[in-house]
Structure 1
Amino acid sequence: MKSDFQFSNLLGTVYRQGNLVFINDGNTLISPVGNRVSVFDLINNKSFTFPYEHRRDVAAITVNKQGTLLMSVDEHGRAILVNFKARIVLHHFNFKSPVKAIEFSPDGHYFAVGCGKILQIWRTPNVLEDKQFAPFVRHAYYTGHYDDITSVSWSGDSQFVLTTSKDMTTRLYGVDRDRMDEVRMTLGGHRDYVVNAFFDEAQEVIYTVSKDGALFRWEYTSDPKSKEDEYEEEDEEDRSTDEDGILQKPKKPESWRIVARHYFFSHSKLKCAAFHPKSNILVVGFGNGEFRLYELPTFTLIQQLSMGQNSVNTVSINASGEWLAFGSSTLGQLLVYEWQSESYILKQQGHFDAINALTYSPDGSRVVTAADDGKIKIWDVLSGFCLATFEEHSSAVTSVRFAKRGQVLFSSSLDGTVRAWDLIRFRNFRTFTAPERVQFGCLAVDPSGEVVCAGSLDDFQIHVWSVQTGALLDSLAGHEGPVSCLSFGQEGEAATTLASASWDKTIRVWNIFGRSQQVEPFEVYSEVLAIDMRPDGKEVAVSTLNGQILFWNVESGNQTNFIDAKRDIQVGRYSDDRFEAKNSKRGKCFSTISYSFDGLSLIAAGDNNSICLYDVKNSVLLRKFTVSLNMNLEGTLKKLNSKNLIEGGPIDLLDRDGENSDYEDRVDLKLPGSHRGDPSVRNIKAAVRVTSIAFSPGASSFAAASTEGLLIYSVDDSVNFDPFDLDIDITPASCLEMLEEKEFLIAVVMSFRLNERYLIHRIYESIPLNEIDLIVADLPKVYVERFLRFIGELSLESQHIEFNLIWIKSILAAHGKYISAHKFEFSVATRMIQRFLARIAKDVVKTSVRNGYLAEFLLDTRTQQDSIRIEEEKLTL
C-alpha cells in the first residue's frame, strides 16, 4: 500500500473569522477557516483547501483582480502570498502588527494594509521587474488615525484609498507621492466607529457606514452656508481676471462635505457592510443575524432577511452584483444568496462542537461525522459540501457506522438511543433503546445489516437489537467496566464475530449468532481505549492507555505482536505547563485506530499532535503526520516563549474580554467550558487532538476528525503520464491531418488536449465502427472520464443513438474496473450516461409499442392485398 499521503481537503467547517472574498469571475468564493483558506467553486459544486498553514488563525484575505495572487494574513500580522492558480506559496512576510484589513488595488500594482493605526501601501511582487533585495517594497506609509483601522477601500482608478477606524473617522489618501498632502482628507461626524467606506462608480461620492447604523453621503462641493460678502471684501490684487481683463469673484473653497444622512433604525449594532458600485447596491449585516439590501443614493430598502440569531460578521458581493456571501463566526455558517431570485446558492454550516466520530461510506464517496452538538452531517468527499444534517439526537453522538450496502446509517448517543437512518429518503426509520435509560458510548453493525450492537457506559453491557423488528435480542454481560469500543469482522465467518474492549483491561470476542455466549477474556495490562478488527476477522488490534498497540489472534487468543507507540507520539506543551514536552505524560497514547482494507497497515491518532501510519507485519512506523501548526491551539508547540510567561500566568490564558471597547464583546454569555473534564475549570484555548480516524474503503485516503475540522489525506494520483505526441505541435490542422491519415487514436488525444468541442465532435463522428474497440482499448486513462462525459453531453442532443451506445459499451467493457475503482471521479459522467439511457429507453419503448400496431396493420394490409391479387389472377384465367 502507498504511504505518500498528502493533505487534500478540510471538511466539517466552512468559516471561522475574517472576511469573505469573491474572485473577479464571480463564481468562486474564498473563505478563511481557522489557520487555513478554503475555496468554493459555486458553479462546478467543488471545494478545496490550500495545503499551507498559518501559525495563527487567519484574520484577513484578499485576491487581486486578475485572480492570480492570494494573500492571507493571520492575527499577528504574518502574511503569505500564494499563486492562486498553481496553489504554491510564493513569499512569507511579517507586518509586525495585527492586520484587520488588506486589499489589492484594482489594477493589481499595489496592495493596502491597515496595520493597527497605520496605513501601508506596498507594491505587488512582479517577476518582470529587476531583481530586488526583497519581494515586498513599501510604496507609502500613512499615519493619522488614533485607533485601529477597520477597513480599507480603493477607488476604481487605483489612485485613492479610503480607510475607516475605531476613532470614528474616515480618511482619504492618495497613492501618488507628489499629491499626498493635497488629497489627504479627514471625514468625521459619526458617533460610533466607522465600519466601512466606499466610492461610487464615478468616484464623485463617498459613502461611510458606522456601527450605530448611520449612513453618510459625502460629495466634493463648496459650503452652501458660506456668505458671498466675505469674498467681495477681498482686495483686487487677490482677484483673478479672465481673458478680457474683467475681474472674477473668488471661488468658494471646495471640500468633501456631508450632503445626506440616512439611518437604519435597527435594534442591533451594525457589524458589516458591502457596496457594489455598478448597481449601487448596499448590503449591511447586523448583530441579530439580520441583513438588508438598499439601493443608493435613494436609500430604498429592497430586501430584509435573517440568517439566524447570531451576528453576521462579514458580507461580500460578487462582480456581477447578483450573489451575496455572508459569514457568521459563532456557528461557523456560510451563505451565498441570490437576491434577485430570493434563493440560496450555497448554505453550509460546520459542527458547533467537537467532532466525536466519523465513518466512510462503503463506496468511499461520502464521510459521515458526529459531534457533541447532537448533529450528524454527511459530507461529499469530492465536492467538500455537506449533503444532509440529522438533528434528532438530544445529546452528544458518540459513534456512527454504515451498513454494508451504504443505504443505512446507525448512530449511538449519550441520550440513551441508537438510531437507524435511511439515506435514500433521509429520515430516521428506527430507534433502539435499552430496558433502562443508559448512555451508549460505542457502536458496531453486523455487515449484513441485520444486527446492531451498542456498548453502555452505565451498566457495562453490550445490547444487541434486530434492525428489522427493533426488538432487543440480547444483552451481553461480562465486562466489569464501561465498554469503550466495539468492532465487527467484515468477511466470511468473521462477519458474525464481535470484539469488545473495556476499561476493565479485558478484550472479549463474542459469536453473536452462536448458542453460547460464554467467552474467555483476553487480559491486557492497561485500560483499552480503541479496538479494530482486521477485515478478515482473524486478528484484532487494541490501543491501551500505556501507549501500546497490541495485536491478538482471535482463534487462539494469543498475542501476536505489539507496537510501543510512546516514542512515535509528538506531544506539545500547554501554556500553563511547568515541565518540558518530553517529560509530559499527557496524550502519550492513541485513542482511535483503523485497519486498511488489506489489513497490512494501521493508522492511529489520539489527544496529541500526531497521526501515525504503521506497517502491521513488521511493526514499523511508515509515516508520521502533524495534525496542526496553529499556535492558537494548546499542544502544538514543543517549547514555550518565556516572554509570554508573567507573574499572573501565561498571557494567552488571561481573559481580556473586559478590556474590549464594545459592550457586546465584554459580556460573556457562554457557560464555562472544559476539555472533557471538570466543568468548573475554564479553558480559554482549545487543545489539538484527533477523536476519530478511518481509512477509506480503497485505502487511497484517510480522514481524521480533529479540533480544526475533518482533515482528508489522500494519495496524490492526479499526475498521470501521457506518452502521446510529446514532440508534435498540436493544432486543429494537425488533428485533421491525423484524421485523414487514419491515425484515429492520435487525433482523438490531440483534440482532447486542445479541448475544442467542435474539433472533438468532428473527429468523434468520423471514426469507423470497426475501429472503436481498438481505439478505446488503447485510450489513456487520463482521457476516459472526459471522453465519457463528452459522450454523455453529446448524446442528449445527438440523433446517432446506436453510434453513441456502441462507444459507451466499448468504454465500459475496456475500462470498467478503472471506473468502478474511481466511482466518485466518474459520478458526473455516469449520471449523464444514465440520463441518456433512461431517455432512450422511454423513447424505444414508446416507439416499439407504436410501431407494433403499425406493423400489424401493414402485415394485415399486405395479406389482404395478396389475397385480392390471387383472386384477380384466378378470374383472369
Structure 2
Amino acid sequence: MKSDFKFSNLLGTVYRQGNIVFTDDGTKLLSPVGNRISCFDLINNKSFTFSFEHRKNVSRIALNKQGTLLLSVDEDGRAILVNFISKIVLHHFNFKEKVLDLQFSPCGKFFSICCGRFIQVWKTPDFSEDRQFQPFVRHRIYSGHYNDVISITWSRDSRFFISTSKDMTARIFSIDSKEKEATTMTFGGHHDVVIKAFFDKNQEIIYTVSKDGALFKWEYTEGKEDETTSKPSWRITAKNYFFSEAKLKCATFHPQSDLLVVGFTNGEFRIYQLPDFALIQQLSMGQNEVNTVEINKSGEWLAFGSSKLGQLLVYEWQSESYILKQQGHFDSMNCLAYSPDGSRIVTASDDGKIKIWDILSGFCLATFEEHSSSVTAVQFAKRGNVLFSASLDGTVRAYDLIRYRNFRTFTATERVQFSCLAVDPSGEVVCAGSLDSFEIFVWSVQTSQLLDSLAGHEGPISCLAFGTENSTLASASWDKTVRVWNIFGRSQHVEPFNIYSDVLCLAMRPDSKEVAVSTLDGHLQFWNIEDAKQVGDIDGRRDILSGRFIEDRFVAKNSARSKYFTTINYSFDGLTLVAAGNNNSICLYDIPNSVLLKRFTVSLNMAINGTLEYLNSKNLTDAGPLDLIDRDGENSDLEDRIDLSLPGSNRGDPSLRKTRAQIRVTSISFSPTAAAFAAASTEGLLIYSVDDELIFDPFDLDVDITPETTLQVLQEKEYLNALIMSLRLNEVYLIHKVYESIPVIDIKLIVSQIPHVFLPRFLKFVTELSLNNPHLEFNIIWIKALLDEHGMYINSRKRDFISSLRLIQRLLNRTVKEIVKCGNNNSYLIDYFKLSNNIKSTNVEQEDTEEEYEVFEDAEDNTMIVDAEEDEEDAEDAEDADEDEDDGGWFGPNGTQKLNVDAFGSSDDESE
C-alpha cells in the first residue's frame, strides 16, 4: 500500500470569518476556512482547499483582476502571496498590524490595506520589472482619519480610492500626488460608523453607507464663475434610510447595474436599485448576522457569509434561487464514516446533526436532524444504502440514503446514552454500547426489536467493531479488557483479553482475524482472535506531537495529557494502521514491521491550543497569559461587547464563559478505495490522498470499485472486469495479481476488449514489469497481443506511448543479448547432446566447437533463426551492435537492421 499521502481537501467547513471574493469571471468563489482558503467552482460543482496554512485564522483575502495573484492576511497581519493558477506560495510578508481591509486596484498594479488610522498602498510584484531585494514595495502611506479605517474602494480607472472609518467620515485619495485638489474633500454628516463607500459607473457620484442605515448620495459640483474663491467639491444631493430595527453589517455595490446589496445583524439582506433607491427584494438567510456580502462581475449572483453558524450562500436574485447553500457543523465533529464505494463521507457532531459530504465536489448532499443530542457514532451498512447512527439521546437510528429518511429507531428498555455502534456485515443486526450501562445491546434491523443484551464487561463500553468476513464482534471497555463475541452462536461465554491499561479505542482487521487496541498509556496492541494471544505492540508516545496549552505551567515534553491515541483504523489489506487522538499528529504505521511510516501535522494554527511546542515568554505574566484576557469589553460596537452565546467548552466546566479551542482528531478512517483517508479534527474534515483526483470517472460496471470486490471478481474468473477495476484503483500489486492470474489462452480475447483509455497505463505497466520479471515468454505474449490488436491506435498516438515503446525496444535488445550469451555458453553442451543421440557427423573440425551463434529476424516469416555459418568477425560485429541501445534497434554486420518491434506484431517501425 502507498504511504505518500498528502493534504488534498478540507470538508465540513465552508466559511469562518473575513470576506469572500468572486473571481473575475464570476464562476468561482473564495472563502476563508480557518487558517486556510477554499475555492468553490460554481459551474462544475467542485471545490478544493489550498494546501498552504496561515499561522492564525485568515481575516482578509483579495484576488487581482487578472486572476493570477491571491493575497491573504491573517489576524496578526502576516500575509501570504500565492499564484492562484498554479497554487504555489510566492512570498511571505508581515505587515506587523491588524489588517481591516485589503483590495487590489482594478489595473492590478497596486493593492491597498487598512492598518489602524492609515492606508498603505503597495506595488504589486511584477515579473516584468527589474529584480528587487523586496518583492513588496510600499508606494505611499495615506493619513487623515482619526479612528480605524475599515474599508477601501477603488475607482474603475485606479486613480482614486475612497476610505471609510469609524470616525463617521469617508475620504477620497489619489494615487497621483498631482491631483490633490480632488482629494481634499471629507465626506461627513453620518451619525454612525461609515461601513462602505462606492463610485458609480461614471465616477461622478459617490454613495456612502453608515451603520445606522443611512445612504448618502454625493455629486461632484464645479465652482461658480462669479465666485473666484469657490472650489469644486462633493456635495450631498440625496439622503435615504433603510429603516430597519437591526444594524447594518455589510454592503456591496455593482456599478454596471446600479445594484446595492446590504446585510443586517438579524440575518436579513436587501437588494436596492440606485439612484432611485427602489427596493427589489428583501429576504433572510437566518437569525444570525450577515458578516460579508459580495456580487460577481455580471451582477447575477450574490454571495453571503455568516460566521456564527458557518453559512455560505450564493443567491441568483433574478430567478430567486440558490446556486449554493452550504453550512458546516456548529459544534465539533465526533465521528465519520466512508461509504462502501468511497464516494461519500458522513460526519456527525455535538449539535445533533448528521451531514453527508460528496468527496468529489466537497459539498454537503443532505443533513439529518432527527437526533436531539450529540451523535457519537455513525456507520454504513455493507451495501451503502443504509446509514446507522448512535446518540446520547438514547436512540440508534437507521437512515435510507435513497429516499433520505429515517425509517428505523432502536431504543433500549432503559434510557441510556449510547457511545459506540457496530453493524453486522450482513446488515441484519446492529449493536450499540453505552457509558451508563455496562451491557451491549443487540437489535434486529428488520423488526426493530431488542434481541439480546450482552453482559460481561465491568466498565463503560468504549468501542465496538465487526469484521467484514464474519459476524465476530469485538468490544473494548474501561475495565481493561477486550471481549470477542459470536452474535449468532449458541454460547456467549467468551474469554477476555486482559489489557494493562484502559482501552480507548478498538479496530478489527478486515479479515476478522486480528484486533488492534489503543490504551491510555500510549501503546497500540495487536491480538490474534483465534489464539487469544498478543502478536504485536507499538509504543506511540514517542511519535505523538503533544503541544503546549496557553495556560500550562509545564513544558510540552512533560505533558502526559495527550500521549495516546483515541481513534485508530485499519487499511483494507490489514498491513497499515492510521492513528490519531487529542494531539496535533496523525501517525501511519506499518504493522508487520512495527515502524512509523509517516507522521502528519494536523494544523499550524496558533489560535488553537496544542499546536505550539513552545510559548512566547513575552506573553506570560504573573497574572497569567495575555491571550486569556477578555478584551471584548473594549470593543467600540455594543453588539461586540455583549456575549449572548452559550458557554463553549469541550464538555468541560460549563461555568467558563469562553474557552480556547483544542486541537484534536476525534475520528479517522481509511477510504475503501485505498487512495485516501479522512480525519475529523478541530479545523474540519481533513482529506489526505495519494492521487490528485479522489474519485475516478465511472465506467460500465455494476460492482463497487474496491480492492475486496476486485479480488472477488477475479475469483469468479471475470478477468476483464477485474483488470479494468485494478487499473482504475491504480494499485500496482493489485494489477500484478490480476495480470498473473489471467490464463494464456484468454490473453488475446481480453486485450481486444480493453478500452483505449486504459491502454497507455496498462502497456507501461507490462513493459516495466517485463524488464525485471522472469516470465519472459508470458510477457512477450502480452506485448505481442497488445501491438497486434492496438497497433494502429498506438501508431496514431505515438506521443502518448513513446515511453512504453522505448521500454519495449530496451526489453528486446536485452533479450537478444541473453540469447546470444546463452548460445555461446552452451555450445559444448549442444555437441554433447548430439553425440548422445548417436548423431554421426563426418569431418568434425576443432573450430566447429567454437561456433558463434547469432539471433536475427527473418524478414519474410518473422521467425527466430540460428545461423552457425557466420564467421567470427561477423559475430563480434553483431555483439557490438547489440550493446548499442540508444538507437533502439540491433544492426547486422552490413549495417542492416535485423530486429525491431515488427517482430512482435507492430505494423510500423515503433522506434520512430
Instruction: Tell me how far apart the structure 2 counterparts of residues 717 and 197 of structure 1 sit (CA, whole Å).
Output: 42
Pairwise CA distance, 1:14:
0.1
What displacement does 1:272 show?
Answer: 0.2
Question: How far apart, in 2, do the equivalents of 1:555 and 1:469 lie?
Answer: 32
Quote the residue 2:172 is aligned against. 172
Which residue in the other structure is 1:602 paired with?
577
How many Å separate the matches in 2 of 1:774 and 1:446? 37
Contact 1:117 1:148 in 2 (8 A): yes
Q: 1:400 to 1:466 in 2, by over 3 A?
A: same
SS in 2 for 1:53: coil
Alpha-carbon distance, 1:676 to partner: 2.5
Check whether the contact 2:619–2:626 (CA below 8 A) recurs between aligned residues.
Answer: yes
Provide the secondary structure at the position in 1 that maps to 2:18: coil
Deviation at 1:222, TM superposition (A): 5.1
Q: Please state if 1:542 is matched with 2:517.
A: yes
Question: Which residue is 1:589 aligned to?
Answer: 564
Cα separation, partners in 2 of 1:25 and 1:645, compared to 1, 3 Å: same
Match of 1:424 in 2: 402
Alpha-carbon distance between aligned partners in 2 of 1:662 and 1:502, rounded to the nearest angstrom: 51
Equivalent positions of 1:528-677 (< 5 A) are: 528-677=503-652
SS in structure 1 at match of 2:281: strand
Pick one of 434, 449, 454 that aligns with 2:432: 454
**Partner of residue 501 from structure 2, selected from 520, 523, 526:** 526
Partner Cα separation in structure 1 for residue 512 and residue 258 of structure 2: 66
Q: Report the alpha carbon displacement of residue 210 of structure 1 after superposing the two structures with TM.
A: 0.6
Does residue 500 (structure 1) correspond to residue 475 (structure 2)? The answer is: yes
Superposed CA deviations along residues 641-669 of structure 1, whole A, max 9, x for unmatched, are 11111233111111111111111111111
Question: 1:776 aligned to 738, 742, 756, which one?
Answer: 756
Work out whether residues 275 and 282 of structure 1, in 8 Å CA contact, stay in contact via their aligned partners in 2. Answer: yes
Please say if 1:3 is aligned against 2:13.
no
Secondary structure of the residue aligned to 2:465 is strand
**Structure 1 pair 398–778 and aligned structure 2 pair: CA distance change class (3 A):** closer
| Counterparts of 1:775 and 1:404, CA distance in 2 | 30
Are 1:298 and 2:273 an aligned pair?
Answer: no
Deviation at 1:782, TM superposition (A): 11
- Of the structure 1 ranges 66-75 and 663-672, higher mean CA displacement relative to structure 2 is found in 663-672
Paired amino acid for 1:331:
L
In the superposition, relative to structure 1, how do residues 184 and 8 fare at CA in structure 2: closer, same or farther (>3 Å)?
Answer: farther
Whether the 8 Å contact between 2:171 and 2:183 is mirrored in structure 1 is no
Give how far 1:145 is off: 1.4
The Cα offsets for residues 157-215 of structure 1, whole Å up to 9 and x where unpaired, read as 00001111111111111011333465243211111111111100000011111111010
- Equivalent-residue separation in structure 1 for 2:757 and 2:479 (angstroms): 59
1:405 aligned residue: 383
Contact 1:338 1:344 in 2 (8 A): yes
2:834 is aligned to: none
| Alignment correspondent of 1:136 | 136
- State how far apart, in whole Å, the 2-side matches of 1:420 and 1:778 are: 39
| CA distance 1:50–1:774, change in 2 (3 Å) | closer
- Give the residue type in structure 2 aligned to 1:124: T
| Cross-structure match for 1:795 | none
- The change in CA–CA distance for 1:271 and 1:777 in structure 2 (over 3 A counts) is closer
TM-score, normalised with respect to structure 2: 0.76
Query: Out of 447, 451, 457, which is 1:479 matched to?
Result: 457
Contact 2:8 / 2:692 at 8 angstroms: preserved in 1? Answer: no
Assess, with a 3 A threshold, how the Cα gap between structure 1 residues 660 and 251 changes in structure 2: closer, same or farther. Answer: closer
Q: CA offsets per residue over residues 74-130 of structure 1, 9 Å max, x none?
A: 011111011001000011111110001001111111111111211011111011111
Work out the CA distance in 1 between the residues paired with 2:658 and 2:524: 31
Deviations 1:262-311, CA, capped at 9 Å, x for gaps:
10000000000000000000000000000000000000000000000000
Give the residue type in structure 2 aligned to 1:57: N
> Does residue 1:382 correspond to 2:360, yes or no?
yes
SS of 1:336's equivalent in the other structure is strand
d(CA) in 1 for partners of 2:762 and 2:110?
Answer: 40
Superposed displacement of residue 777, structure 1? 7.4
* 1:31 corresponds to: 31
State which of 681, 684, 687 in structure 2 corresponds to 1:709: 684
8 Å CA contact 2:332, 2:682 repeated in 1: yes
The size of the alignment, in residue pairs, is 711
Hey, what's the Cα distance between the residues in 1 that align with 2:5 and 2:184? 53
Q: Which amino acid aligns with 2:379?
A: R
Report the AA paired with residue 8 of structure 1: S
- Matched residue type, 2:213: G
Counterpart code for 1:437 = R
Contiguous gaps of at least 5 residues in structure 2: 695-750, 764-788, 794-912
Post-superposition Cα deviations, 1:728-775, rounded to whole Å, max 9, x if no partner, equal xxxxxxxxxxxxxxxxxxxxxxxxxxxxxxxxxxxxxxxxxxx99688
Rounded to whole Å, the distance in 1 between the matches of 2:754 and 2:418 is 58
**Paired residues of 2:581 and 2:665 also in contact (CA < 8 A):** yes
The verdict on how the C-alpha distance between 1:251 and 1:118 changes in structure 2, with shifts beyond 3 A counting, is closer
CA distance in 2 between partners of 1:25 and 1:772 (Å): 45
Cα distance between partner residues in 2 of 1:348 and 1:178: 48
Q: Does residue 259 of the first structure (1) align with residue 237 of the second (2)? A: yes
Q: Distance in 1 between matches of 2:390 and 2:755?
A: 52
Secondary structure, in 3 states, of the residue corresponding to 1:80? strand
Q: Measured at CA, do residues 782 and 125 of structure 1 come closer, stay the same or move farther in structure 2, by a change above 3 Å?
A: farther
Report the residue type matching 2:519 in the other structure. Answer: T
* Structure 2 letter corresponding to 1:776: H
* Shift, 1:716, TM fit: 3.0
Distance 2:180 2:17 in 1: 34
> Relative to 1, partners in 2 of residues 1:62 and 1:562: Cα closer, same or farther, differing over 3 Å?
same
Maintained 8 Å contact 1:35/1:54: yes
Q: Look up the SS of the partner of 1:643 in the other structure.
A: helix
Structure 1 residue 447 displacement after superposition:
1.1
Quote the offset at 1:683 in angstroms: 4.3
Residues 670, 509 of structure 1: CA spacing in aligned structure 2 closer, same or farther, 3 A cutoff? same
Instruction: Answer whether contact 2:213 2:242 (CA < 8 A) is retained.
Output: yes
Question: Does 773-782 or 463-472 show the bigger shift?
Answer: 773-782
Amino acid at match of 1:147: N
In 1, distance between residues paired with 2:674 and 2:180?
A: 61
Q: In 2 relative to 1, CA 615–772 (structure 1 residues): closer, same or farther, beyond 3 Å?
A: closer
Q: Partners in 2 of 1:326 and 1:777 — Cα distance? A: 42
Once the two structures are superposed, residues 780-812 of structure 1 have per-residue CA deviations (whole angstroms, 9 ceiling, x without a partner) of: 3599xxxxxxxxxxxxxxxxxxxxxxxxxx99x
Distance in 2 of aligned mates of 1:178 and 1:250? 22
Residues 603 and 391 (structure 1), Cα distance of their counterparts in 2 relative to 1, 3 Å cut:
same
The 2-side partners of 1:36 and 1:181 are apart by: 43
Give the CA RMSD over aligned residues: 2.0
Q: With the length of structure 1 as denominator, give the TM-score of the two structures.
A: 0.79
- Deviation, 1:628, is 0.3
- Which residue does 1:371 correspond to in 2? 349
Segments of structure 1 that go 5 or more residues without pairing to the other structure are 233-248, 720-770, 784-809, 815-877
Moved more, 658-667 or 21-30: 658-667
Cα pair 1:409 1:421 within 8 Å, conserved: yes
Paired residues of 1:58 and 1:72 also in contact (CA < 8 A)? yes
Aligned-residue offset at 1:383 = 0.4
1:336 corresponds to 2:314: yes
Say if 1:782 and 1:679 are closer, same or farther in 2 by CA, change over 3 A.
farther
How far off is 1:457 after superposition? 1.2
Give the conservation status (yes or no) of the 8 Å contact 1:174–1:184: no
The yes-or-no answer on 1:509 pairing with 2:484 is yes
TM-superposed deviation, 1:778 = 7.0
Are the aligned partners of 2:346 and 2:356 in contact in 1 as well (CA < 8 Å)?
yes
User: What is the one-letter code of the residue matched to 1:365?
Assistant: S
> Equivalents in 2 of 1:546, 1:221: separation in Å?
78
Aligned to 1:316: 294
